[in-house]
Amino acid sequence: MNERFSPRLHLWLAIAGIAFRFVLLITGLSAALWFALIHFPDAYNPFTPPDIREAPTVVTPLKLRGLAGEYEICTSVVRASGAKAERTSISSATEGCGMERGLRLQQSRISYGGGIDLTCPAMTALLMWERHVVQPAAQEHLGSEVTRIRHMGTYACRNVNHSAAGRRSGHAAANAIDIQGFDLADGRRITLLSHWGKETDEGRFLAAVHEGACSIFPMVLGPDYNTLHADHFHFEISRWGVCR
C-alpha cells in the first residue's frame, strides 16, 4: 500500500514545497514594498502628494494624475507653493465639456496676463514647470528672467484638433493650456513661431522648456507634432503620455 501511494505523496510534497517558496517570495516582495513606501523620500513615493517647491522626479506625472480625485489635497498643494488661486468651476450644457471643480490662478512667480482657469492637477503641473523649468532655462540660455508667459487659452469646449467629430480635447475639461511665447526682463520676446528649431539661444531655450515639460505633464505637443501646433506648446494632464 505504501509503495502504491508513494509517488502521489512525493508529488504533493513537491507541490507543497513550490507553494511554500512562492509564499516566501510574495511575503518578501510585500515586505520590500512596505519598507520602500515607508522609507523612500516623499519625492519618489507615488502615493504622497507632490510638492511644487521640490524639483520634479520620475514619479511626478503619477503624482499629478493621483490628484485628479483629491481636490482638497490638491488645493493645499497649490497654496503651499506660495501661489494665489481661487476655487472656480465652469458649467456647460454640452456633453464632455465644463469643469466641476478647478482653480483660477491669481498670482504666481510669472505673469500670464490675467487669471487662467485650470483643473487643480493641471495648475499644479503648470506651477512646477514655471518654477523648475522655465526660469532655470531662461537664466542658462538667455541670461535673463521670464516676466510673462503668453498663452492661447485653457478652456475651450471642442474636440481634438477642432474636428467636427471625435473625442474631446483636453481643453474641453480645462485640463490643458497652450503656450505661445515668453517675455523677458531685458525686453526680448521669444515666440515659437519665430524661434522654434533654430540654433540660437532663443531656440535652445524653447527646446529646454519643451523637454522639461515632458517630465511633468503627461502630454506635451509642440511644432514637431503637426502644423496645428506650429505656434504653440500644448500641455495637458491626460491618461496617456506623449512627448512630441
Decide: residue 30, CB within 10 A, 0-12 exposed, 13-18 middle, 19+ buried: exposed
Q: What is the pLDDT of residues 67-105, one digit of tens each?
A: 988 999 999 999 999 999 999 999 999 999 999 999 999
d(CA 123, CA 5): 69
C-alpha torsion angle, residues 175, 54, 182, 111 (rounded to 10): 80
d(CA 88, CA 100): 8
Tell me which amino acid residue 42 is.
D
pLDDT at 1: 46
pLDDT band of 39, cuts 50, 70, 90: low
pLDDT band of 6, cuts 50, 70, 90: low
In whole angstroms, what separates CA 103 from the centre of its chain? 16
Name the nearest CA neighbour of 220 among 131, 110, 125. 125
pLDDT band of 115, cuts 50, 70, 90: confident
Domain boundaries, the chain: 1-39, 43-243
d(CA 59, CA 157): 30
d(CA 75, CA 200): 39
Q: What is the pLDDT of residues 213-239, one digit of tens each?
A: 999 999 999 999 999 999 999 999 988
pLDDT at 164: 76
Residue 14 has pLDDT above 70, yes or no: no
pLDDT at 87: 96
Q: What is the DSSP letter of 133?
A: I
Name the nearest CA neighbour of 123 among 151, 161, 94. 151
Q: What is the pLDDT of residues 22-32, one digit of tens each?
A: 665 666 565 55
Residue 194 has pLDDT above 60, yes or no: yes
Length of the chain: 244
pLDDT at 134: 97
pLDDT band of 40, cuts 50, 70, 90: low
